[in-house]
Every structure is written in C-alpha cells, then in structure tokens.
Amino acid sequence: MKFEIPAGAQKILRTLADAGYEAYLVGGCVRDLLRGVAPHDWDICTSARPEETEACFAGQRIIETGLKRGTVTVLVEGEPYEITTYRTEGPYSDSRRPDYVEFVSSLEADLARRDFTMNAIAMDLEGNLRDPFGGAADIQAGLIRCVGEPAQRFQEDGLRVMRALRFASVLDYKIEHGTAGAIHENRRILEHVAAERINVELSKLLVGEQAGDILRQYPDVLCEFWPELGPLVTLEQNNPWHCWGGWEHTIHAVEAAPPDLVLRLTMLLHDIGKPACKSTDEKSIDHFYGHPAVSAKLADRMLRELKFDNRTRERVVTLVEYHDVQIPNRDRSIRKWLGRLGPETFFQLLEVKRADGMGQSYELVKDRLTQLEEMRTKAAEIVVQGQCFSLKNLAINGRDVIAAGVAPGPEVGRVLERLLERVTGGEIPNERERLLGLLRPDDSSSVGV
C-alpha cells in the first residue's frame, strides 16, 4: 500500500482485536487509500458496543459527543479517531436523521446503511477488504453508485443527493446511470435538508475539479434550494458578445475561475439578475442594462438563505456588483479602484473579469483579457512600491488637518478625501510637506483644499 496507516489507527485496531472484537478501517479513508490519495481522517468501525469500546481505551482521552449514535472518539497522540459501533438505521421519517439507530453485530449490515459503494468498504490492517457492494470496482471505474435501491436511499436522507454531486465534482467521478436518474427524480427531498448542510456540500462541489460538469448536468437539483437560478438556466442571449446562453456562459465562467469559493460563487451568481433585466432592441439584439446591481441584490438574498457567513457573502456581493465596471488601464484608475475596494478585493475582481471574459466570444474579448493581465501587473507594482491609494498611506492624517485649523468633524474626512483624490490622480505627490503646504495656503487663513 502506498500510504502508511498511522500508528494511532493501528493501535486502536489491535487493541479492539486483542479484546476479542472485530475492528476495521471504513468509509472515506478506505476509499482514499484505494484511490491512491492520502486520507485526511481515519474512521474505524467495530463490533464492540460503545461502552465496550470505552472500556478498551480506559485511561486514554475519550470524547463522548457521538455516543448516542454509537461513536466514541479516542485521542491517540493528539489525533482524534472516531470509533463507531456497527449499526443500522431506523426509518427516516423527517428525511434528515434516522428516527433511531440500532447496534448490530454484522459488519455487512453496517456497510449496507452507508451511502455509496465507494464509501461502504472495510479494510483490516493487512489490507484485506470487506467489500460486499463492489465498491473497489466502482472506484476503479470512477463511479458513484448508491448502496441498494437509489430512490429509497435518497428518500431516506436528502443530503445524499448533494453528497453524490459533491463527490462527483471533487473526485472527478461519474454518477452511475440509475443513481443519476434517482437524483433527478428525488431532488425535491432537498426541501427537508437544512440550509447549513446544503451549504457545506455546495461549497465543496463548487471548488471541485468537475464543478462545471455538475452544474451542466444537474441545474434542476440546484434550483431546488436556489429557484432563482431557474430563469438563468433557460436564458437565451442574442448578443454579439455572447456565444452561449446564460447558463452555459455561467458554467464557462465558473470553470475559468480558480478553485476558490468566493470566486466560484461570484461566477455562479454574477449574471443571476440578467433575466429580470432583459430587453430586446429593434435589431433583435438582447440587452441586460443594470443587471449587475440586480444580480448583487439577488445574490445577497440567495447567500443569506443558504447561510453563508457574512464575510463570504459580502465579498461575493461586492464582486458581483462590480463585475461589469469598466476600469481604464491607467495607473490612476487602478489606484482609485485599489483604494475603493482594497487590494485583496481588487485582485479578485480582476480574476472575476477574466473568468467572465473566458465565457464570452473569444475573438471579441481577447484584447480585454490582455488588458486585464497588464492591469494585474501594474496593480501589483503599485502595491509593492507602496504608492498611495488609500487614506491609510496618505502622508498626512486627520490630526494634521485639525492642526491646520479645520474644526474636528466630518469636514476633516472630506479634506483628506479631496487630497487623496489628487494624489491618486497623480496631480500632486504624496509628500508630507507638499500636502501640509496645501492645507496652509499663504494668501488666506482658510484651508485651501
């Protein structure tokens, strides 16, 4: 095997076996080992009941939070290992959580409750597999397939719909035909899934390798929690800049953005306001005047609904709002926008504009893409050289303005803003003496800016 099983996991498996219980590695770590990538955590399943597991690790640090569901977390050398008793699940009357869990003595019964065949494989320390559902073959083939009857499995727990899409995107796997059909047919079950849980899966999906393909194949699923996407999915845009409809353009823009959640969300939502802004002129050309502001408003609502954190939401909304602004390729315009947005958001906006351009008719936008690249280089120089673009690096501050005779209050800020504008515009240098001089004109007692 390519990857070592950590000493902590080995110790746990041996301790349980020595006490006469069965114990296996299971779930994500086995899947990852078979895929040839390093697992990020090591889950263990065992025939021991939770209290028996606890007895095996008496004297070790134990976390009992998952006890009711059969999970004991043991800390070995600072690493937490989840040890879960073989269990089956009762009916899911709310499509969220099983009504009860039942401990069982058979590994097969435990594997049968798991979502996908690739996640339903157990492995012992010698690398022997217990794989009753053919998960290893599905991993080999890159296939996501439900354990058991797909429709029933999705109806039990709607989150599995999103997990399937997320795994397909992140692992670059195909969803097996019957499983895919059941996802489409049972997508309404998402109504019963908490927004926070959908958020987690969607966020992973969007930064996955195959996010674009999933958006292309499952827009109906996304519309279950974000119905606002519906009109964009069917939007036609007869406009020389656009070689695709609204959805295909969105997908290309998502694919062109780096795998960063803020940027991918921005691209997914940047044109969400277009359908509401569509007009068609006498030459049958479609226009979408004012769509960035409408998109920003809708994006804000959608991100709130799905419980994105404020930081992510605010950043995405800002980028959506400005995605279409024209920034002239000149140092002073770049300084102005660096000041207005802050460097981090400004560089993200350049990425957004590039990704947006990549989703348009290439011949028409290629010059714009070159300009964006030039602007990125210029902006990086401006930042590195410490050029002034915000009040933070203006050579004077509010105290200086007050010392020059301006009464404390809002006028102080206005004076500074006016000076900043002249500095970023290249009209005057950012030099303390020069700026102080402007505050104290020779010919008058009042402040001259």
Residue ranges binding Mg ion (CB under 5 A): 28
Would you say 92 or 244 has its CB closer to ligand ATP?
A: 92
Would you say 193 or 438 has its CB closer to ligand ATP?
A: 193
Would you say 139 or 235 has its CB closer to ligand ATP?
A: 139
Angle, CA 50 vertex, CA 47 and CA 55 arms, to 5°: 100
Q: Where are the alpha helices (DSSP H) in 39-194?
A: 50-56, 107-112, 135-141, 150-156, 159-171, 177-185
Residues ≥6 apart with Cβ < 8 Å to 403: none
348 binds, among ligand ATP, Mg ion, none (CB under 5 to 8 A by kind): none
Closest distance to Mg ion from the beta carbon of 28 (Å)? 4
388 binds, among Mg ion, ligand ATP, none (CB under 5 to 8 A by kind): none
Overall size of the chain counted in residues: 449
Would you say 166 or 249 has its CB closer to ligand ATP?
A: 166
The answer to whether residue 160 forms part of the interface with ligand ATP (CB under 6 A) is: yes
The answer to whether residue 28 forms part of the interface with ligand ATP (CB under 6 A) is: yes
Using the structure block, give the residue that is written with the tokens 């991993």.
Answer: 139
User: CB nearest ligand ATP: which residue?
Assistant: 28
User: How far is Cα of residue 359 from the mean position of the Cα atoms in its chain?
Assistant: 20
- Can you tell me the distance from the alpha carbon of 192 to that of 180, in angstroms, rounded to the nearest whole number? 20
The answer to whether residue 351 forms part of the interface with ligand ATP (CB under 6 A) is: no
The answer to whether residue 274 forms part of the interface with ligand ATP (CB under 6 A) is: no
Would you say 2 or 283 has its CB closer to ligand ATP?
A: 2
In this structure, what DSSP letter does residue 186 have? T
CB of 207 within 8 A of CB of 259? yes
CB of 302 within 8 A of CB of 226? yes
70 binds, among ligand ATP, Mg ion, none (CB under 5 to 8 A by kind): none
The answer to whether residue 27 forms part of the interface with ligand ATP (CB under 6 A) is: yes
Closest distance to ligand ATP from the beta carbon of 192 (Å)? 13
Q: How far is CA 54 from CA 41, 320, 390, in A?
A: 20, 51, 59
CA atoms within 13 A on the CB side of 182: 24
- Can you tell me the distance from the alpha carbon of 424 to that of 426, in angstroms, rounded to the nearest whole number? 5
Closest distance to ligand ATP from the beta carbon of 286 (Å)? 41
Stretch that binds ligand ATP, among 10-18, 55-63, 153-161, 181-189 (CB under 6 A): 153-161
Would you say 38 or 285 has its CB closer to Mg ion?
A: 38
> Would you tell me how many other CB atoms lie within 10 Å of the CB of residue 424?
25
For residue 201, give both structure tokens: 């899966």
- Can you tell me the distance from the alpha carbon of 354 to that of 360, in angstroms, rounded to the nearest whole number? 10
115 binds, among ligand ATP, Mg ion, none (CB under 5 to 8 A by kind): ligand ATP
The answer to whether residue 114 forms part of the interface with ligand ATP (CB under 6 A) is: yes
Would you say 32 or 321 has its CB closer to ligand ATP?
A: 32
Would you say 139 or 372 has its CB closer to Mg ion?
A: 139
Q: How far apart are the first and last CA of the chain?
A: 73
Among 45, 159, 180, 316, binds ligand ATP (CB under 6 A): 159
In this structure, what DSSP letter does residue 176 have? P
114 binds, among Mg ion, ligand ATP, none (CB under 5 to 8 A by kind): ligand ATP
Among 22, 115, 224, 351, binds ligand ATP (CB under 6 A): 115
For residue 327, give both structure tokens: 């920034």
The answer to whether residue 119 forms part of the interface with ligand ATP (CB under 6 A) is: yes
Q: Which of residues 90-109 bind ligand ATP (CB under 6 A)?
A: none
Q: How many residues bind ligand ATP (CB under 6 A)?
A: 11
Residues ≥6 apart with Cβ < 8 Å to 362: none
- Which one-letter amino acid corresponds to residue 412? V
Closest distance to Mg ion from the beta carbon of 341 (Å)? 37
Residues that bind ligand ATP (CB under 6 A): 27-28, 43, 114-115, 119-120, 157, 159-160, 163
